[in-house]
């Protein structure tokens, strides 16, 4: 993996600025720091301002595991960015929620996992998230959640940081959702920044893509990395500066 903010990576960032590039970002762990409870996640004021400037200069989309309604609330004040929720399954298009399926999953999970301390199930309309960050035995909790998920029908399991996500198996993943946005907007390049296992489908997107992971990892489809989530502001600022006409020269 190559450090995206290094001098050696300047050429690829400059190329993104010169092309019709779709700038795409995950939310938790990327635009906002990871927190103890998902409801506590907040995007910093500087990040919010810079993201708004990027969205004014580039086609821009946020692709998150959160529901669209939740994500829109977190992004309030950022104009121009499209929002895709539930790991790629929930777009602006009006499609029916798999309510009955999720209710069946939730009932089954509660029967199998209800005695485990520190677990809670979040219903996001198009997917379930089984959180175990508060569990005193995280390894065992994850093993039990995955075992319970194998008993569910029509489910796709999406990993995460101390959470197991359950999505209807036919729903688009982040990679498919990102490809659809790229084609819809007529972009010939994609920049995607994420931080987690559930971003790997997007990192592996075919075509001209610059996949960036928050935190270096050996086994990842991402070819570039940022050292920490705090560096997202530096990247956003560079995207803005390089888009300015006076900056579009080799350097």
- d(CA 12, CA 19) in angstroms, rounded, equals 11
Catalytic residue among 26, 28, 195, 199: 26
- d(CA 158, CA 168) in angstroms, rounded, equals 11
Q: Is 201 a catalytic residue?
A: no
Other CB atoms within a 10 A radius of the CB of residue 57 amount to 16
Lookup result for tokens 């700038």 = 23
- d(CA 139, CA 118) in angstroms, rounded, equals 12
Catalytic positions are 26
């Amino acid at each position: 993996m190559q450090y995206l903010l290094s001098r050696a990576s300047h050429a690829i960032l400059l190329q993104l600025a010169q092309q019709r590039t779709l700038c795409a970002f995950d939310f938790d762990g990327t635009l906002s720091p990871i927190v103890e409870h998902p409801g506590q996640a907040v995007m910093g004021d500087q990040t919010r301002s810079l993201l708004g400037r990027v969205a004014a200069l580039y086609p821009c989309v946020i692709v998150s595991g959160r529901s669209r309604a939740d994500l829109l609330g977190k992004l309030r004040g950022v104009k121009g960015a499209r929002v895709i929720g539930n790991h790629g399954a929930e777009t602006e298009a009006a499609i029916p929620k798999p309510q009955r399926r999720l209710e069946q999953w939730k009932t089954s999970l509660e029967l199998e996992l209800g005695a485990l301390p520190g677990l809670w199930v979040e219903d996001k309309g198009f997917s379930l998230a089984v959180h175990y960050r508060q569990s005193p035995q995280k390894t065992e909790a994850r093993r039990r959640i995955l075992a319970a998920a194998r008993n569910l029908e029509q489910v796709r399991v999406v990993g995460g940081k101390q959470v197991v996500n359950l999505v209807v198996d036919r729903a688009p993943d982040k990679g498919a959702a990102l490809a659809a946005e790229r084609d819809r907007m007529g972009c010939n390049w994609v920049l995607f920044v994420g931080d987690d296992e559930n971003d790997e489908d997007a990192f592996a997107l075919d075509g001209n893509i610059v996949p960036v992971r928050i935190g270096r990892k050996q086994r990842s489809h991402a070819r570039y990395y940022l050292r920490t989530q705090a560096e997202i502001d530096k990247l956003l600022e560079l995207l803005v500066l390089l888009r300015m006409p006076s900056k579009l020269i080799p350097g």
